[in-house]
Amino acid sequence: MSDKLNQRKKGTYIDLFSGCGGFSLGLGNAGWEGLFAIEKDSMAFSTFKHNLIDGAHAHFNWPTWLPKQETTIQDLLENHLEQLSALKGQVDLIAGGPPCQGFSLAGRRNAKDPRNKLSDEYIKMVEIVSPKYLLLENVRGFNASFKPAEGKKARKPHSMIVKNKLEKLGYKVFTDFLCCADFGVPQKRTRFIMIGIKKELVKSDFKNPFEILANTKRDFLIDKKLPLRHVKVSDAIGDLLVSENGLAYHSGNEVSGFKEINYTQPEKQSKYLRVIRKNAGKKKPNSLRLARHKDTTIQKFIRIQQICKPGVSLSDAMRLEIGTKKQAITVLNANEPSKTLTTLPDDLLHYSEPRILTVREMARIQSFPDDFDILGKYTTGGERRTQECPRYTQVGNAVPPLLAEALGLLLTKI
């Protein structure tokens, strides 16, 4: 353990299951200093490293014993147990959002999904490092009971199992659901949040952290110069219209290549856009590549935009008319926050143009700033879908940085 780390006045944190870095970006903006982050996917880690270790948002004092590359908690526990044990009592916070596919109410909930067990690795890290605080983010389904097998009792929500284990390790645990739109994120994304605090830090006059958060949320928005009302989608991505910016070639030629939005920063900007563009200068954000839609697909999108109610998923009758079996297709409502983004880019259609969103538009809706570059493949398919984390997946899975920042600031007030 270096003297530099011991002398820090700022809180030090470790980010587990970091993905492309939404949680870390928010914590860094809240004044926290990172020690290291663990992410198993090479593409997601390349985005993380580019921005948060080497780039403009760097705030990590990475230990020499840990390579700056993708890895798993299991590998960390197997290969660096001695170094981890030396961190006991030296780290203020462990943050993380264990993979949530097995818990998601929008997907196939599966109590036996092996990814559900990753929260056990989170708990093992907590036991070894013993930080003052814990932050755990997950989907709403993390706190829902699994449907029981025939003739058997319902399984406990996984959140209760995790909470009980953390309490045995000496933490007072608080939980709640938070809507990201309440913290300036232009998205109605509701997430389950668990906050753990070492019991010896919880005094008799201690307030529930979620009550503090509710009472300071307005101050957070004012301090960030964000609107006090929910941010609507058009205020987040209205400057990225193809009709306003025109097109540029991203790669290849006119026939076979991809096109991208030829972005020009508008003179007039929404409050939200001023926050997102704050450090970007005149620079064009990356990940503006447009999907190559077939003419038939474009016509289908136009018809969907004609018959749907913006912000509401297509009904069974509408899906029958369009000729799709896809369960979730929604056209964005320009005057409201977006529905929850997923890792599937064709779940949401643009509010006025017959296309899916670009990665940058999704990043804007997640509250990533324009100077945060997303790297890697754009999409992947087939068997690789469960093995790779391309750009759309990285952004769809991320913790919105504005929510993470609000949580990071909250812990400094406790």
In DSSP notation, 119-137 reads HHHHHHHHHHH--SEEEEE
CATH number, domain at 336? 3.90.120
Q: Which two structure tokens, joined as six digits, stand for 141? A: 């389904």
- Asked whether residue 332 falls in the same domain as residue 404, the answer is no
Question: Is the Cβ–Cβ distance between 173 and 196 less than 8 Å?
Answer: yes
| pLDDT for residue 256 | 61
Q: Which residues of the chain have pLDDT under 50?
A: 1-9, 101-111, 113-115, 146
- Asked whether residue 266 falls in the same domain as residue 359, the answer is yes
- Model pLDDT for residues 392-413, shown as the tens digit of each residue: 999 999 999 999 999 999 999 8
Q: Which domain holds residue 192?
A: 3-228+400-413
- Asked whether residue 404 falls in the same domain as residue 393, the answer is no
Q: Which two structure tokens, joined as six digits, stand for 222? A: 């004012």
**% of the chain surpassing 90 pLDDT:** 73
- Asked whether residue 21 falls in the same domain as residue 58, the answer is yes
Q: Please report the beta strands in 56-112, taking only residues with DSSP state E, as ranges in sequence order.
A: 93-96
- The closest of 208, 94, 110 to 158, measured between CA atoms, is 110
- Asked whether residue 64 falls in the same domain as residue 148, the answer is yes
- Asked whether residue 337 falls in the same domain as residue 260, the answer is yes
Calculate Rg over the CA atoms of the chain. 22
> pTM of the predicted model, to two decimals?
0.90
- Model pLDDT for residues 177-222, shown as the tens digit of each residue: 999 999 999 999 999 999 999 999 998 888 999 999 999 999 999 9
Question: Is the Cβ–Cβ distance between 272 and 186 less than 8 Å?
Answer: yes
- Asked whether residue 312 falls in the same domain as residue 407, the answer is no
- Asked whether residue 75 falls in the same domain as residue 39, the answer is yes
308 is catalytic: no
CATH number, domain at 27? 3.40.50.150
Which of 100, 180, 308, 389 is an active site residue? 100
- The closest of 62, 19, 76, 104 to 388, measured between CA atoms, is 19
- Asked whether residue 293 falls in the same domain as residue 343, the answer is yes
- Asked whether residue 175 falls in the same domain as residue 260, the answer is no
Structural domains counted in the chain: 2
Non-local (6+) Cβ contacts of 89 within 8 A are 130
- Asked whether residue 273 falls in the same domain as residue 221, the answer is no
- Asked whether residue 96 falls in the same domain as residue 144, the answer is yes
- The closest of 83, 43, 44 to 63, measured between CA atoms, is 83
